[in-house]
Structure 1
């Protein structure tokens, strides 16, 4: 019995060490994957606030919570199992699926730009839409969750690429950790941004000159910040979508667009060595944005033409 008990304890100790090592591997891989996906995470945080505008203050956090739950569903119920299955059996199909998602982002972003420049304000229609806040909320949440699906798919694909050589258990654990951490981070930041004016109002009512000054500044400044985020969010859709297409084409041997954008970005960075990293990123984003805007506009006008013919 003692020897059997000792053997059992040895087995338990070995399993514990193995579990600890696996957890360390998961943590390290998840951290590396999260850092690599940071660019898309920032884009996700920039895109989402535009879906939460026009609501009463008491509905802002519930709307963000609905979108966050949709994001968790996207990542855990749709993307995680599908990603693992495709990685195991059809790894070649991941890039085309991401490219289709990229085209959707290009289309949605370009459509917003076209609408902004060509839309004639219909005050009565706008008032009627805002009056039906329940329908507006459902529409915004659905749109945000669709966009999140594409951005989350790229995040999960980046994370998966970092652990492609690991066991499926490690892959699943890393994807789960990344999905949870990124969702909390993105929607926590979005909630903070959206409620910043309420925080400002609270500070403005507190005693103390500095507190009141900061509060008034937040109250006056946040509408401009939200407008800027709306513009940045639309731009992010276009440059992320364009970037997915350019990178995907390079993966299929059509590397010309990626090389051209990269060479121009490197040349621009070399011309301004004091801010080379920022300049290279900006020029790369602009290049991807041009590709995204062209593709998105073609799709938007093509769909409009087809829709017009039906009528």
Structure 2
């Protein structure tokens, strides 16, 4: 009898692990698109800090990301159990914030380009930065990246929860926790590698091998271009993710985009859908920024 009970228990455990494995793979596949956005956003969020502070900044954001998911996973389970109707509106608020942040970045970038038209102007601005200002800049970067991570983490958790919503509670907890840990370690591990590409290039250039020196030179040439590309891609990702969340939350818009892409398939349909999300993200971002500035003016604050 004891042997039979043990075999039954082992069989139940094996079945549970198999279910978790299958649902985990589905969840990982469904969240892959958001992970790409998460990666590009966070890589460009931590750019601009001093070389010797890049890894501490990445580590600071990674710790904040773990805390975000530590809050979001149990919160998502509670909301799913007691108020599932609230998930979509909350996600839409987060999506609108991403669009707003993206639009603000675009305006800031345009204003910055006008204010700094020459290398001399940039050098003077850098010289004026004191150590205290550099520390404040770093803190601001970390806080901004953690806020952005919160929205993206919420979408990843929501997507995963949608896949495992019909599963037993234990399966939901294990899969949500597993995806949260995997995403955080994976994204910030890659971000750490990206921001240290130039250091790797310098290290390789000091080697005696011609191949190593050539590779190092190529990495040094690639590093600034890669960060510029990630800055652009990261900003676009804010509009794409935010616009996509809002489009899925408003049936009329969602059906319009579906109708728009109905006559196409594959890559063209995907491009049209992403373009629609991008345009929607830009529109929402401009509206939210206008409202925020209007409220600030009414309260007598500078904008």
Partner residue of 2:271?
A: 282
Cα distance in structure 2, aligned partners of 1:43 and 1:165: 28
1:111 aligns with 2:104: yes
Partner residue of 2:165?
A: 164
CA offsets, 1:220-259, max 9 Å, x none?
Answer: 1210110110111011011100000000112xxxx2x223
Structure 1 residues 207 and 126: alpha-carbon distance in aligned structure 2, compared to 1, 3 A threshold: closer
Partner residue of 2:258?
A: 262
Partner residue of 1:176?
A: 177
Q: CA deviation at 1:99?
A: 0.5
Structure 1 residues 130 and 47: alpha-carbon distance in aligned structure 2, compared to 1, 3 A threshold: farther
Structure 1 residues 204 and 159: alpha-carbon distance in aligned structure 2, compared to 1, 3 A threshold: same
Partner residue of 1:204?
A: 205
1:78 aligns with 2:71: yes
SS in 1 for 2:22: helix
Counting only pairs closer than 5 Å after superposition, residues 13-92 of structure 1 correspond to structure 2 as 13-75=7-69, 77-92=70-85
Cα distance in structure 1, aligned partners of 2:239 and 2:34: 12
8 Å CA contact 1:109–1:235 kept in 2: the answer is yes
User: Normalized against structure 1, the TM-score is what?
Assistant: 0.88
Q: CA deviation at 1:128?
A: 4.7
Cα distance in structure 2, aligned partners of 1:133 and 1:106: 27
CA offsets, 1:138-174, max 9 Å, x none?
Answer: 1111111111010000001100111111111111111
Question: How many pairs does the alignment contain?
Answer: 292
8 Å CA contact 1:129–1:136 kept in 2: the answer is no
CA offsets, 1:84-136, max 9 Å, x none?
Answer: 11111111110110000000001000111122223453767665556422211
Partner residue of 2:95?
A: 102
SS in 2 for 1:106: helix
Structure 1: 4+ residue segments shifted above 6 A: none
**Unaligned segments of structure 1, at least 5 residues:** 1-6, 271-275
CA RMSD of aligned residues (A): 1.9
Partner residue of 2:195?
A: 194
8 Å CA contact 1:41–1:182 kept in 2: the answer is yes
**Unaligned segments of structure 2, at least 5 residues:** none
CA offsets, 1:162-218, max 9 Å, x none?
Answer: 111111111111101111111111111111111111111222222222222221011
Partner residue of 1:3?
A: none
CA offsets, 1:255-290, max 9 Å, x none?
Answer: 2x22333343454xx4xxxxx633322221111011
8 Å CA contact 2:46–2:145 kept in 1: the answer is no
Structure 1 residues 168 and 130: alpha-carbon distance in aligned structure 2, compared to 1, 3 A threshold: farther
Cα distance in structure 1, aligned partners of 2:214 and 2:258: 45
Partner residue of 1:298?
A: 287
Cα distance in structure 2, aligned partners of 1:237 and 1:192: 22
Cα distance in structure 2, aligned partners of 1:129 and 1:292: 34
